Amino acid sequence: MLHSFAYTGDAAVGAVLCQNLLAAGFEQQDDIAAADVVIAYCASQESHEETYFGQDGLLSHLREGLFIIGLGACTPTTAREISSLAQISDAHFVEAPLHAADITVPDPFADRDNLTALLAGQPDELAQVTGIIEAVAAHWEECGQSGAAQAVKCALTAKRALEIASMVESEALLLLAVDESGELQARAFLESQQGTQENISAWYQGIRADNYASTYTIEIVASELTCALAWAEEQGLVLPQTETAAYLVRLLATVGGIELSPLALTLAYRDEASGERFGLDWHRAEGMQTLSDTDDNDDDEMDDREGWGWTSDEELGIEEDSPLGR
């Protein structure tokens, strides 16, 4: 039986996850050597690299019988690599990236009912960590062997990023209609036409209330999108719409929005004064590449994107002096 755990990774997310584990009767250890299970949630890929592969990373602490549960995002390839290295030491690595249903609440990780754990690993390994997973997430989905859970996470990441991007753009157009008429009676109708997107009304309400405080931050979204795009590139798959969404996320992070909710992407479509209220400085983006910029080494790759819907700033209607065109 697994009784004790150690946590490493993002402090804000870890605070609520550890609280739920303690409430379920598990014992927290400060020393990895004293824990049955190490639980990791990394908010960025830089943190993930250091946490697992750094000089004092988790892979340097592997021992027989130790379980590592990865709750954050990485590429399927990285997940398989960690799993293989764990097996060499007779340790166990369980993929369990978390997916939050409602990202508008201040702390999407606090409510177990809001979380689904995507699981991958050997059946006997999954059986042994069931109690810990249940303490963190009320829902889980077994995805298959090593790498499968992260592959599903990549797909969910792309889907959500595109949903948010389309929502903030439609809201930007709605604001123009409000400016023209002073009122808008078709708002409810528009929301009803958003298909089956979960929590779409809550997303709109969060934007209109300027509610951008969350533990599910732009930093986390950027990390998840990095994984999704890296995995797609490994597989030779071009995702132009996801790349556009990733550009918007990087833009917001660059100008100071790294700790805001992804709903704050709407600030990219407002005037600079609106962004300044939340600590954004658009001048920080002056040296950032625009969607139409390419690296000298990426010419062939960009040529391949022609015909895939890849669009320039000019084609997107992004003006040079707007935040998105900086």
CA nearest to 168, candidates 43, 274, 240: 274
CA nearest to 46, candidates 265, 313, 226: 226
CB 256 within 8 A of CB 280: yes
Query: 152-325: which CATH topology?
Result: N-(1-d-carboxylethyl)-l-norvaline Dehydrogenase; domain 2 (1.10.1040)
Mean pLDDT of 182-190: 58
Mean pLDDT of 250-275: 94
SS3 label, residue 258: coil
Mean pLDDT computed over every residue of the chain: 86
d(C-alpha 258, C-alpha 272), whole Å: 17
CB 125 within 8 A of CB 158: no
**What does the domain layout of the chain look like in residue ranges?**
4-146, 152-325
In DSSP terms, 37 is beta-bridged to: 5, 67
Structure letter (DSSP) for residue 256: I
CB 116 within 8 A of CB 101: yes
| Six-digit token string for 144 | 């298959």
pTM to 2 decimal places: 0.85
Mean pLDDT of 182-211: 68
pLDDT digits (tens, 9 = 90+) for 221-232: 999 999 999 999
Sheet strands (E) in 13-131: 27-28, 37-41, 67-70, 92-95, 98-100, 115-120
Q: Would the pLDDT of 70 be above 90?
A: yes
pLDDT digits (tens, 9 = 90+) for 74-115: 999 999 999 999 999 999 999 999 999 998 888 999 999 999
d(C-alpha 255, C-alpha 286), whole Å: 10
d(C-alpha 98, C-alpha 133), whole Å: 10
State the CATH architecture for 4-146: 3-Layer(aba) Sandwich (3.40)
* pLDDT confidence of residue 207: 86
Same fold, 4-146 and 152-325: no
